[in-house]
């Protein structure tokens, strides 16, 4: 297995990256990334721009758009504000995501999806959405009555 081309920590690239091999970002990239292979964004790394890859493994910060022809994996330390289009998404506990999401074999992003469209407040994977939160009881609501450990009497059952 070949090692990916690596943009080391402390390196900042402003511009486009195009490659037909795996690329690992440990520093920062501001611009577009177009790969026919896998993009790795390490914890502590920053990518701001449009990403078009076969597969993306995100453990750092990505702001912009992500198009992956196979899948996107958001690791536990991922902080993503992006529109994502991919056939498959894996989001690990601890990952934070905010943005438009299209999953499926023919997933595409709307033409209005740009870096500026991403929300400014990432949501943790465990947080409920507004719609699902409305269906759940409030944690401050009165608790349910405790179950009785006493078996019902025959008079109560009749």
pLDDT tens digits, 127-150: 444 444 444 444 444 444 444 444
For the residues of 95-125, what is the DSSP string, one character each? -EEES-EEESTT----TT--GGGS-SS-EET
User: Over 70: is that where the pLDDT of 64 sits?
Assistant: yes
Model's pTM, two decimal places?
0.69
Q: Detail the DSSP E strand segments found in the chain.
A: 5-7, 12-14, 17-19, 23-25, 28-30, 33-35, 38-41, 46-58, 61-74, 79-86, 89-91, 96-98, 101-103, 123-124
pLDDT of 110: 65
Query: Which segment of 5-14, 38-47, 102-111 scores lowest on mean pLDDT?
Result: 102-111
- Reported as a pLDDT band with limits 50, 70 and 90, residue 117 is very low
Give the residue, 38 or 104, on which the prediction is more confident.
38
Q: Are 92 and 79 in contact (CB under 8 A)?
A: no
Task: Parse the chain into domains and list their residue ranges.
Answer: 5-118
Q: Are 60 and 44 in contact (CB under 8 A)?
A: yes
- Reported as a pLDDT band with limits 50, 70 and 90, residue 77 is very high
| 110's tokens | 């709307």
């Amino acid at each position: 297995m070949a090692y990916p081309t690596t943009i080391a920590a402390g390196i900042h690239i402003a511009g486009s990256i195009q490659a037909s091999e795996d690329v690992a970002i440990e520093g920062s990239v501001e611009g577009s990334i177009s790969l026919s292979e896998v993009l790795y964004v390490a914890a502590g790394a920053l990518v701001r721009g449009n990403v078009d890859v076969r597969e993306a493994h995100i453990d750092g910060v990505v702001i912009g758009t992500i198009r992956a022809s196979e899948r996107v994996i958001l690791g536990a330390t991922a902080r993503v504000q992006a529109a994502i289009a991919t056939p498959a998404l894996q989001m690990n506990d601890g990952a934070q995501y905010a943005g438009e999401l299209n999953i499926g074999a023919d997933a595409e992003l709307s033409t209005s999806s740009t870096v500026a469209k991403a929300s400014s407040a990432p949501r943790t994977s465990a947080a409920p959405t507004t719609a699902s939160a409305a269906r759940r009881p409030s944690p401050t609501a009165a608790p349910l009555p405790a179950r009785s450990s006493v078996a019902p009497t025959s008079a109560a059952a009749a």
